[in-house]
Every structure is written in C-alpha cells, then in structure tokens.
Chains A and B, each alone.
Chain A
C-alpha cells in the first residue's frame, strides 16, 4: 500500500533528503520511522504526499506513483502532521465535514459524530469552535478526518509530539484500531517507546538512509534504545 522503490530526494547543496529508500508497508502494518532531526523522516512523508518531487526512484500509494498521479493517489491516503491545525472559527464537526467534503465524502451529521466518537473526542467538544481545542483534541479530529476519508494509507509526522501521556496513549489506541481495519500506517517519530508499543515494524534512519528495519516484537525497549543509539553514534 505504501511503497518506496529506490527513492531519493536531494536538496540543493546536497544536504539532507533521502537516499535510496526502499519500503513496503502493507495494510494492517504500522511502520515507525525513527531518526534524529534531519534524518529524512519528514522528507519521506512529504514525498509520499507529493509535496516534494523525488530526485530518483518511486513513491507509490496503492500502486500509484505519487509524482505522476498526485491527485489520484491522494484518494487513498490521509495525513496528520506534527501540529495539526484546524479552522479556529469552525467547530470540530464543521472542520470534519469540510475536510471530508474536500476529499469527496459527504456524510450526515450522525455519521460525522460517529467518526469523532471513534477518534476519541468527547461529545461536548463536537460543536465547540476549535480555537479552544488542545493539541490532543485537534489530533483526534485529524484521526476522524482520516476515518471519514476511509483512507487505506495514513501518513503521520510526529503525531504524538507534545501530547501528554494520556493523550498519547489514546492516540496509540486509535492507531491500533485503524491498523486492525487494514490501514497501512507510516509514522515518523522520535518516540522510541511509542514506536515500540504501537508499531508493527520499525525503521531507523540516519542522513537519509534507512539503516535498519526490524519487527517491533523482536526487540524490547532497552534493546531498541541501544540499537538506535548505536546507529546514531
């Protein structure tokens, strides 16, 4: 569902970017990309979103090359950035209805409320303007947008950064539900603990290269930390 074939992106001056990345994330998998700042995690996500053009290789979503069929490939993916922002003068429900509508999905209010409930947003917040929402609440609306879109692929860029442990845990639970529904998830994160807990697969990146890929269940927290630090040094 989310596939990178010899994918490279070089910025002017040759710094940063990604080099020869190969990935294949199937439905029902959560692939956590670990790495320091500048490792190429966000660049990878931006290339899959077609916000950046790859220098070489292919980024595929549901078999569609995103740089050739950008708009079509977006029918299958949803995206939640590190700090998801919504329209502050609209309620959570209105934001959800708008973003779903943009994606070509029209729902009745009850269905929209169901998505918000499924994403874990408390019912009394549905009709409140999102200017009063916490980051965690906004992330939940982001999940609801992804649910409403019925996306087969989900791209997450540091989604739990800045969330309190409870909100982070709720977010992980929602991801797990999406995984169980067969969604392929690519999550860029610094959070080793969350990667180990939520991910089915973990990749460690450094200077644009994917240095190691492993199954989350094959290592414990301390082994993962040790491995990560080994690659970072």
Chain B
C-alpha cells in the first residue's frame, strides 16, 4: 500500500512543473557547487603541497648557524586539506592554514582563505554544504508543505478514507515520495564527489565509510525536515498556513538558531580578547625563566640547582653547555605557560560547544552541521587538534635544536654552527586528523540529538495523522 501511494505521489509531483523545476534547479546547483569546490580543492591541495615542499626546502637549505638561531629562524606547519572538505568546507576558510613555528612563541594559524575573498562572499558561497544544509530542506518544504493540506482542501482525503485507507500508510507513502528524490539528489552528489576524489592521485585519508556516514547524517537531517513538513501539513487547515509555518521553522532552524547559539555561547563563555590573552602570557613569561637572560632570577635559581646537582662550582665544569640547557628549560617553561592559557581557551571552547549542543535541541540544523564538519575534518575540533599537533612538533623541534647546542658545545661557546645534517634530522611536520571512531565518539551527543529530532518528529507525525 505504501509503495502504491509513493508511486502515485512521485508521479504527481514529477508532473507538477513547480516541483520539476525546483528539482532541476537544485540538481544544477549541486553539480555546479561540486565543480566549483573541486577547483578550489585542487588549487588548495596544490598550494599546500608547494608551500610544504618550499618550507621544508628553506629549512634544510638554511646556512650553517647556531641551532638556537635556527630555532628562531623557524619553519611552518601547514594544515592539510582532507578529501571530504570537498563536500563541507566548514570553518577552514576562517581558521587559517599555516602556523609559524619558532623559538619561545606559540603562534596562531594564519592566512585565512576568507581574508582573500571579496565582500560579496559575506552573502554565502555556492558550496555543496550550503546546498545540502540550507537549500535541500527548502526543497523538501516546497515539495511537501501541502502534502496533507491539499488533500484536505480538494476533498480527496475523504475519498481516501472512505476507501478504507489507514492514514499512517498515507503518511508513509508521502514520506517516501519526498525522501526518494532527495536521497537520489544526495547520492548523486556524493557519487560525483566519490568519483572525483577516487580519481585523485593523492587520495588522502578518504574512506568510503566516512562518505557513507556523512551521507547518512544528511539523510537523517532531511528525514527530520520531511517529518516536520508532513506534520505541519497534517495539522494545518490550509496550504498557505502550512507553507508560512514551515518557512518560519526553516528560518528559525537554519538561520536564526545558529546565530542565537553563537551569541549565547559568546555571551556566557567569552574568549579573552587577543590583547588580554597575549598580555596574560607575557606576564607569566616575565615572572618565569628567560632563556636569553642569564641574570633573570629564575635563571640564577636554575644555575644554582644544576651546579648542586652535578656537584661542580662552575658552569664551565658541566658536561654540557649550560646556555643550551637554559634555553631548553626556558622553552619547556614557556610551553607550560602556553599550555595553561590555551587550555583555558579550550575549556571555553568546550563550554561554548555545550551551549551549541543545548541549542541543537531547538534546531536540527546544528547537530547536522557539527557532524558534517566533524566528519569532513573541517570543524574547530580538528583545527584545535592540528594546532596542538603543530605545538607538539614545535616543542620537539626546539628540544632537538637546544639539546644539540647543549650537548655538542661547552658553556660560553656560541661559535658552534650546526649544518644541514641537523636540519635534516628533524622530521618534516605531518599531521593525521582524528580517526572516524574518535570523531563519532566526540560527537555522540550530536548524533543522539539528531536521532531525538527524528524520533520526536516522527512521533508527532504519527499523532497528527491519527487525528486526520
């Protein structure tokens, strides 16, 4: 019975110019957006490969110099682009793509792609995630806002009921008739994306399971919108009211809720301003060990402790260069300071995430958006993870350079110069994003909220159809 209703609904919908045209427009937009994203993705991939290679080349080709000078010379960590970013670019354009790694300082990611864009980009971009998250729900509303209200208005509902039709079967038949074309559109998009990604030489970390799970997230998101559309249509006295209500739901869910969540999160758990953040770090640094200042109180204290530990009277008697040793201790101290302050930022981020997840109870858009970005590795969590990986690399790099200086020279000997061998011995930075299992674990609440939306909206639809 459900299959029969679905077939009839599909046939009717496809014969309606309004729906046919909408489907074609969305299909065209999807294909164009994938094509545009493909170009952007290839360009970024190429830039990333070139920049990475150039930075490494600059690092290993630098002149012979003191290792600590090389530490100040520094290098770059570049954030890789992951295959599913083709579908959801997430916050990548706003989060910066490279971090300058140098002695004593933990730097922020810089060179945001958004900074290179025109003012028009403020109005949104034609990307697959824009179509998937904003436009397809609108398409669902357009197809199904009058699913029940029209039957009621034209009197066919009474005729159907007189034929002994169970209203839940009618609802399910209509549900599938909306879901199937939407699923087809989605599968087409993901299929084109998979073909394109599969043809790349550098296939990256894409696994078919990830593509499939991302597809399932979007399908679940659409299922929620279909439930809501049919529910409102079943409860509305006429199609006009149904359309207005559904558009209001779309505006609230997709446009208002994310902004409200953002304002609420920033209001309740604000990040410190950059000036305050840097001032707090500078204050902590000032009160701690300064590797470049041997007369600093902490440096003097360290010197005494080391002399005592090694049972010698002079720094010259130490089996290593105390300058290098102090530099390294200073790095470790500064790393702790950065760790403390960034941990606070991370805590604020987690608190803000809690607010977002609470707000997601009022909008199915939010959990879908967070899940999609997380699976694409274009969310803030991945960005934080990348920044942490870069910081860990910086700490190891500084340790390698300072230890080389400390071990191969004696106190006061600043004439030592390391060469290419040392630069090459420090491995190039590489970053592996979180595994899918970890991502799903981190986002379990988003999954639960999205499933809750599905269950509650389906229950609402069941209730509404029982009243028809």
Contact = CB atoms under 8 A, between A and B. Distances in A.
Interface of A: 49, 51, 71, 74-75, 77-79, 81, 83-87, 89-90, 94, 98-99, 101-104, 129, 142, 145, 149, 155
B15 to A, nearest CB: 4
Given A87-B12, A89-B15, A94-B11, A74 B162 contact: yes
A87 B155 CA distance: 10
27 contacts: A49-B158, A49-B161, A49-B162, A51-B161, A71-B166, A74-B161, A74-B163, A74-B164, A79-B159, A81-B155, A85-B154, A87-B8, A87-B12, A89-B12, A90-B11, A90-B12, A98-B8, A99-B163, A101-B1, A102-B1, A102-B4, A102-B160, A102-B165, A103-B163, A103-B164, A129-B15, A142-B159
A142 B155 CA distance: 13
Interface residues of B, number: 20
Nearest to A76: B164
Nearest to A104: B164
A205 B159 CA distance: 25
A83 B12 contact: no
Interface in B1-35: 1, 4-5, 8, 11-12, 15-16
B452 to A, nearest CB: 32
B1 to A, nearest CB: 7
B156 interface: yes
A85 B156 contact: yes
Contacts of A71: 164, 166
A154 to B, nearest CB: 10
B176 to A, nearest CB: 16
Q: Which of B1, B160, B162, B166 has the most CB of A within 10 A?
A: B162
A87 B161 contact: no
Contacts of B160: 99, 102
Which applies to chain A's interface (DSSP): helix, strand, loop or mixed? mixed
Contacts of B5: 102
A129 B12 CA distance: 11
Nearest to A99: B163
Given A75-B164, A90-B8, A90-B11, 5 more contacts: A74-B163, A79-B159, A89-B16, A94-B11, A145-B163
A78 B4 contact: no
Nearest to A75: B164
B161 A149 contact: no
Contacts of B163: 74, 99, 102-103, 145, 149
Contacts of A129: 15
A155 B158 CA distance: 12
Contacts of B8: 87, 90, 94, 98
Contacts of A89: 11-12, 15-16
Interface string B125-161: 0000000000000000000000000000011101111
A78 B162 contact: yes
A32 B215 CA distance: 59
Closest 4 CB pairs of A and B: A74-B164, A79-B162, A85-B154, A89-B15
Contacts of B158: 49, 51, 79, 81
Contacts of B165: 102
B55 to A, nearest CB: 62
A87 B14 CA distance: 13
A93 to B, nearest CB: 12
A77 B4 contact: no
Nearest to A155: B162
A211 to B, nearest CB: 28
A196 to B, nearest CB: 27
Contacts of A103: 163-164
Contacts of B16: 89
